[in-house]
A and B are shown apart, each in its own frame.
Chain A
Amino acid sequence: MTNSMKEFEDSGCIFVIGSNTTETHPIIAGRIMTAKEKGAKLIVADPRNIHLAEFADIVVHHRLGSDVALLNGMMHVIVKNGWHDDKHIEERTEGFSDLEEVLEDYTPKKVEAITGVGCVDIERMAEMYAGNHPAALLYAMGITQHTTGVDNVKSCCNLAMLCGNVGVRSGGVNPLRGQSNVQGACDMGGLPNVFPGYQPVADQTANEKFSNAWGKALPERAGLTLTDMVKGMGDGRIKALCVFGENPKLSDPDSGHLDHVLKKLDFLLVQDLYMTETAADADVFFAGASVAEEDGTYTNTERRCMRGNKAIDPLGKALPDWDIICRLSSAMGYAMDYSCPEEIFDEMTSLTPSYGGMTYERLGINGLQWPCPGKDHPGTPYLHKDNFSRGKGKFHAVKYLDPDEMPDEDYPFFLTTGRMFSHYHTGTMTRVSPHLHSEQKSGYIEVSPKDAGDMMLNDGENVRVLSRRGQIEVPVKITSRVGEGLLFSPFHFRENPINRLTNPAFDPIAKIPEFKVCAVKLEKIAE
Chain B
Amino acid sequence: MDYQMVPSICPYCGVGCGVLLEVIDGKLAGTLPLKTHPNNEGKLCIKGWNLHEHVVSDNRLLFPLVKEEGRFREVAWDEAIEISAKRLKAIIEEFGPDSVGVLTSAKMTNEANYLIQKFSRAAIGTNNVDHCARL
Q: Which residues of A contact B (CB under 8 A)?
A: 5-6, 24-28, 30, 144-145, 176-193, 195-196, 201, 210, 214-216, 218-219, 221-227, 229, 232-233, 237-246, 248, 251-252, 266-267, 269, 272-275, 279, 282-288, 290-301, 304-313, 315-319, 321-322, 324-329, 331-334, 336, 338, 341, 344-345, 347-348, 365-367, 421-422, 424, 429-430, 432-436, 439, 510-513, 515
Contacts and interface: CB of A to CB of B under 8 A. Distances in A.
Contacts of A513: 134-135
B1 interface: no
Contacts of A196: 114, 117
Interface of B: 4, 6-18, 21, 23, 26-28, 34, 37-40, 43-47, 49-67, 72, 77, 80-85, 87-89, 91, 95, 97-135
Contact of A310 (B6, B12, B52, B110): B6
A456 to B, nearest CB: 35
B117 A223 contact: no
Contacts of B14: 25, 176-183, 300-301
B91 A267 contact: yes
Contacts, number: 431
B125 A296 contact: no
Contact of B107 (A144, A180, A304, A326): A180
A239 B111 contact: no
Nearest to B74: A317
B131 A185 contact: yes
A192, A225, A227, A439: which has the most chain B beta carbons within 10 Å?
A192
Nearest to B99: A239
Given A216-B122, A229-B101, A240-B99, 6 more contacts: A176-B15, A188-B117, A226-B135, A307-B8, A312-B26, A510-B134
A334 B109 contact: no
Contacts of B45: 26-27, 421
A185 B106 contact: yes
Given A218-B121, A309-B7, A242 B103 contact: yes
Contact of B91 (A185, A227, A239, A304): A239
Contacts of B57: 274, 432-433
B127 A180 contact: no
Among B6, B10, B47, B120, residue most surrounded by chain A Cβ atoms (within 10 Å): B47
